[in-house]
Chains A and B, each alone.
Chain A
Amino acid sequence: MYRYDSYDQALVDARVAEFRDQTQRHLAGELSADEFRHLRLRNGLYIQRFAPMLRVAIPYGLLSSQQLRMLAQIAERYDKGYGHFTTRQNIQYNWPQLKDVPDILADLATVQMHAIQTSGNCIRNITTDHLAGVAADELCDPRPYCELTRQWATFHPEFNWLPRKFKLAFSSSKSDRAATAVHDIGIHIIDSATGERGYRVFVGGGLGRTPIIGQVIRDFLPEADLLSYCEAILRVYNLHGRRDNLYKARIKITVKEMGLAAFKAKVEAEWDIIKDGPLKVSAEQLGYFKGHFAAPDYLSAEQADDGQSTVQALAQPAFAAWLKRNVQAHARPGYAVVFVSLKARGVAPGDITAEQMRAVASLADTHSFGQIRATHNQNLVLADVCRKDLYNVWQALSAQGLATPNIGLLTDVICCPGLDFCSLSNASSIAVAEEIFDRFESLDYQYDIGDIKLNMSGCMNGCGHHTVGHIGILGVDKKGEEWYQLTLGGSSGSSASLGDRTGPSFERSEVVGAIETIIQTYLDQRQGPDEDFLACYQRIGMPAFKAALYPEARA
């Protein structure tokens, strides 16, 4: 894990002081609301529907137990005792008071955390695979590259006032678990045909009103050129991105309007000038970052696994169910990846209490080298658990309501905060998620349905990633009422795709029934339990689903 030294700390401390001064000036009437808005956004602070919302950065989703404890403390001291993990691996607090935010940032700084550039038209949190470092299918750990890029992006003086927000994601596995295809820049770490390490660079992906899958701007970029190439892209975007229309200001629109070839020509012309400059990444530089992510002191397979978890599973079906859904393979024998499900019945997806945070921090200390990851599906991960400890970990998580065995199932929804918190929302997405949970409560039913991604957004901004859900639910406002548009067949993985609309939208009272109809259609039409929802949809398309959802239309 990257640990700050005095240089990193000095930057964060300076920003704490700067924002404290800006807040004081604003509260004293010396700094206008408009100017303060731009500044507070760049410190993660939204003024929202009922209260300010503070978004805290969790660089590429990695947390130490000490940091998680501080997040718990902040939840208790300044908020209503809980936090919310987001689709970009950050955490949000929904109820801080504006006057307390400088103190919150100061507290965060004591554990090497901050809210820098988590909002506003600047470069946002760099995200990656929640299995980074432990995935059997990864080429290499993407996190050193994430940290390198994070430093390049943080307080970059030229790119703080972009046309619109800018999001980067890294993946180094065949299976893209970081949704890189829907990022402004998506970076795949790869080896060339000749075995040279480098990147495939995607540009112009994004969700929201005009969802677009990113295009390859560079098939192979040598390892040393990562930062200069990103700089070239950002510079072209900063100069040429639209500033006249907020809805056309993302880089995905710039690429679309200019055409990829013309955009690429500008980027490459700029990059050609700067590539051998100070942004060139030396071997020493890479070594510095890789050194912060060395593998922990793993036990041998015999020490890590006593084979007892299989026996325990036979005796306890609930443990067996959890093993099946919430525990995934680790690259090292004897170890396992444990998912902490934040999708329990009656709880808003992604929410976690201070007490739960502390419990997870303790488990991390005892069982996972003191580290926790946040996933972009709004769950947590303990990445390095000895298989011999799985039973104890399960019991501890169960006691905290963190062991719902639904990872990857229907109730493992990605869901935006919705009407309850967000002034942009058309829909009470959390209430719909709860109703789905109730309707599909039976775990046996969920297992039968199998792997499926249900994503829900309360408005077209798509914070719940609905357009890349296997089933997507979008809240829309129709004559002042809550209606829901459904899409099928989206995917944020390696063959990314945008969902297709089923047809007319559904009333609030009908939407969960419509989901049930879709699921039943899938179960009827699938070639067998091994054909999951997405595969089935890709095979049969929309007709059967449409017919089932809108029976009157056939008359």
Chain B
Amino acid sequence: MSTAILLNAEGRRIENRYPAVDSETPILHGSCVQVPLERLQESVGAGAELALLLPNTAAIAALLPLPAAVTSVHLQFPGFADGRAYSQATLLRRSGFAGQIRAMGAAVVVDQLRMMRRCGITEFALHHPEELTAAETLLQQAEVQFYQPDSTSLGFVLGSSRNP
């Protein structure tokens, strides 16, 4: 995963600031790491900056409020058809979480990026590296206005909402 190509919501390459740690590695004070849910408490206690890696079965409500040490949440899209993390992202944003949300997994493909972004996802670990150029182009394009409110601050055009 550390070799995955990462793009932000604006379509720019970014570096991975959160190397993953296995269940054994001690977490050092002042470090910046990606941790699974089981190590969250321990990592906060250790004084690290964290990306929280969540399974797509994790209930978001039970995790709120997230500790301030969590500056990024990494969500999983394990299969093309498994859309649970879209709801997880939406719930995170609704809770006021202002950090990064990263999409990881097999469904992080150019054809799903726009909808991921609309759910509040701000980083994409591209599953097909060869899609890099297409993904950059797509994310950099101006977006149409959609019908329904979403987790971005773009205006929506459901019915009379389109009339200012």
A residues sitting closer than 8 Å to B (CB atoms) are 5, 7-8, 10-11, 14, 18, 22, 31, 34-35, 38-39, 121, 148, 151-152, 154-162, 235, 238-239, 243, 273-274, 277-279, 282, 284-285, 287-289
Contacts and interface: CB of A to CB of B under 8 A. Distances in A.
Contacts of A39: 111
Contact of B83 (A5, A162, A279, A289): A162
A35 B90 CA distance: 24
B147 A152 contact: yes
A161 B86 contact: yes
A250 to B, nearest CB: 14
A289 to B, nearest CB: 6
B90 A34 contact: no
Contacts of B116: 157
B111 A11 contact: no
Given A38-B80, A161-B82, A289-B159, A155 B146 contact: yes
B108 to A, nearest CB: 12
A474 to B, nearest CB: 28
B144 A11 contact: yes
Contacts of B163: 288
A271 to B, nearest CB: 13
Given A158-B115, A284-B160, 19 more contacts: A7-B145, A10-B145, A11-B144, A11-B146, A11-B147, A35-B111, A152-B147, A158-B119, A160-B83, A235-B87, A238-B86, A239-B59, A239-B88, A277-B149, A279-B148, A285-B158, A285-B159, A285-B161, A289-B159
17 contacts: A5-B162, A7-B162, A31-B111, A38-B80, A38-B81, A151-B158, A152-B148, A155-B147, A157-B115, A157-B150, A160-B115, A161-B80, A161-B107, A238-B83, A238-B86, A243-B82, A278-B149
Contacts of B158: 148, 151-152, 285
A285 to B, nearest CB: 5
A157 B159 contact: no
Interface in B121-164: 144-150, 156-163
A121 B86 CA distance: 14
Contacts of B111: 18, 22, 31, 35, 39
Overall SS of chain B's interface = loop
Nearest to B141: A14
A35 B130 CA distance: 15
B53 interface: no
Nearest to A37: B80
Interface in B88-105: 88, 90, 94
A356 B144 CA distance: 38
B109 interface: yes
Contacts of B162: 5, 7
Contacts of B157: 7-8
Interface string B2-28: 000000000000000000000000000
Interface residues of B, number: 34
A121 B81 contact: yes
Contact of B109 (A8, A10, A35, A157): A35
Nearest to B60: A239
Contacts of B118: 157
A34 B86 contact: no
A159 B146 contact: no
B80 A158 contact: no
A238 B87 contact: yes
A288 B148 CA distance: 15
A160 B159 contact: no
A22 B148 CA distance: 24
A148 B150 contact: no
A186 to B, nearest CB: 21
B82 A158 contact: no
A277 B94 CA distance: 11
B39 interface: no
A151 B84 contact: no
Nearest to B131: A30
Contacts of B156: 278
Contacts of A38: 80-81
Question: For A8, A11, A151, A152, which residue has the most chain B Cβ atoms within 10 angstroms?
Answer: A151
Contact of A160 (B59, B86, B144, B145): B86
A288 B159 contact: yes
Question: For A11, A157, A289, which residue has the most chain B Cβ atoms within 10 angstroms?
Answer: A157
A158 B149 contact: no
A156 B160 CA distance: 18
B130 to A, nearest CB: 8
Contact of B84 (A238, A273, A279, A285): A238
Nearest to A282: B160
A146 B150 CA distance: 20
A279 B163 CA distance: 16
Nearest to B149: A278
Contacts of B159: 148, 151, 285, 288-289
B81 A159 contact: no
Given A35-B80, A152-B158, A158 B147 contact: no
Given A7-B157, A22-B111, A154 B147 contact: yes
A273 B160 CA distance: 23
A154 B81 CA distance: 18
A66 to B, nearest CB: 23
A31 B111 CA distance: 10
Question: For A238, A277, A282, which residue has the most chain B Cβ atoms within 10 angstroms?
Answer: A238
